[in-house]
Amino acid sequence: MSPRPLELDGQSLAIGVLSVTACILFVGFLVVTSLAPPAQAIGMNDSSGDYKMLTQQLSSSSEAIVVLDAAAQRMIVYGFDPNRRQFQAISGFDFDRLQKRADPDAAQPPPGWNP
């Protein structure tokens, strides 16, 4: 007795196609979920005592951490250096350098301004 040749009917073909599709989708799901999303901290802030910290977006791919020290009247901006894998001071200045308004009328809107 010779073995009967296997015939591929419509139901077997549909089951095979659906099984292969399910395997491909499962592998794609595993790949997508295993990739870590880029870390972004845009718009975050915190404060403790005389310190205030916030994040600032410098460009589309880089951010900075701004640290304000109210007691020392100083601000320092830190950025991440990917080559050294550490944070480095980018800029900083004393609040004393900010121009203070001596005239209380200077805060008034300009003439002709009508909200």
| pLDDT value, residue 112 | 66
| pLDDT value, residue 96 | 81
Domain boundaries of the chain, sorted by first residue? 45-95
Each residue's pLDDT tens digit in the chain (115 positions)?
Answer: 566 667 778 888 899 999 999 999 999 999 988 887 766 666 778 888 889 998 888 887 788 889 998 888 899 999 888 888 898 998 888 888 776 665 655 556 666 665 5
Reference 91, options 71, 70, 53, 65; nearest CA is 65
> What's the whole-model pTM score?
0.49
CA distance 51 to 58: 21
User: C-alpha distances in angstroms, 44 versus 41, 54, 71, 92?
Assistant: 6, 6, 22, 20
